[in-house]
Amino acid sequence: MGKLDGKVAVITGGASGIGRGVANLFAKEGASVGIFDLNPDNAKAVADEVAAHGGKVAFATGDVSQEEDVIAGLKSLVAELGDVDIMVNNAGIDTTRELDGMPTDMWDRMINVHLRGTFLCTREVLPAMKKKKWGRIINLSSQLAHKGAPTMVHYVAAKSGIMGFTRALAYEVARDGITVNCINPGPINTPLLNGLPQEWLERKKGELPIGRFGEVDEVAPAFLLLASDEGSYFVGASMNMNGGDYMI
């Protein structure tokens, strides 16, 4: 028996990095898995990977910051898998620039992907969760929402917004049997992280008491805890696995 038997989970940004790891772990634990990602080739490849665990899987492509993409993508996944029980808002981007040289479109894109995307995807799945009186919303924030970081004002603002969104929504829906929590990992070895400038990466690694970046397998179990019945008393919580970058 898996911890997620009979559940339907959708992971945005599920075609790489943390999302890919969570998709595979959830499938191993019995969930039907929907992958929503901007990259169709990667989404299909990860869906095939997840299917190897024997569970039901589907994928849809689209931009989480675009309302029409979210509505169509989630409608497609629900048609194939059933109503969503577990929504993992993981999709994200990462760029660096000092604020006085930051173009407005760079700011807007960061806020739209992270914060607007979390809002759109969550809003879409809440009615079915309320009807069932059971649901799990898991949002990806960052330890930088607590700590801050130079050249990442836009990223920190977006992730701080997700943390606030999580707490406020947790109040709204807890008595509907829905928990809303966020995970705030430190730097994790993923294609997203490794796309940042080498100078930034070296400086960040030097700040970590543990002296290394984390691995996806060190983060994914936290998602499983929050998604399962074992996580039912986590409400509006922020889980911090960050190698000691920010101790709270």
The pLDDT tens digits of the residues spanning 84-102 come to 999 999 999 999 999 999 9
Q: What is residue 21's three-state secondary structure?
A: helix
Instruction: Using alpha carbons, select from 29, 76, 42, 39 the residue that is nearest to residue 227.
Output: 29
Cross-strand bridge partners of residue 136: 86, 179
Task: Give the residue from 168, 171, 166 showing the smallest Cα distance to 137.
Answer: 166
Provide the pLDDT for residue 53.
86
Helical pair 153-173 and 117-132, crossing angle rounded to 10 deg: 20
Pairing, β 86-89 against β 8-12:
parallel
Using 50, 70 and 90 to split pLDDT, how confident is the model at 220?
very high
Note the pLDDT of residue 193.
79
Per-residue confidence band for 79, with pLDDT thresholds at 50, 70 and 90: very high
**C-alpha angle with apex 186: 248 to 2, nearest 5 degrees?**
95
- Residue in this structure with the two tokens 């038997």, named with its chain if needed: 5
89 DSSP β-pair partners:
139
Predicted confidence at residue 181, as pLDDT, reads 98
Q: In angstroms, what CA-CA distances link 26 with 18, 19, 21, 170, 220? A: 12, 10, 9, 23, 9
Domains of the chain with bracketed CATH = 8-239 (3.40.50.720)
pLDDT band at residue 195 using 50, 70 and 90 as cut-offs: confident
pLDDT, mean over the chain: 95
Q: pLDDT higher for 193 or 185?
A: 185
Q: Is 233 annotated as catalytic?
A: no
15-21 mean pLDDT = 95
Q: What is the pLDDT of residue 24?
A: 96
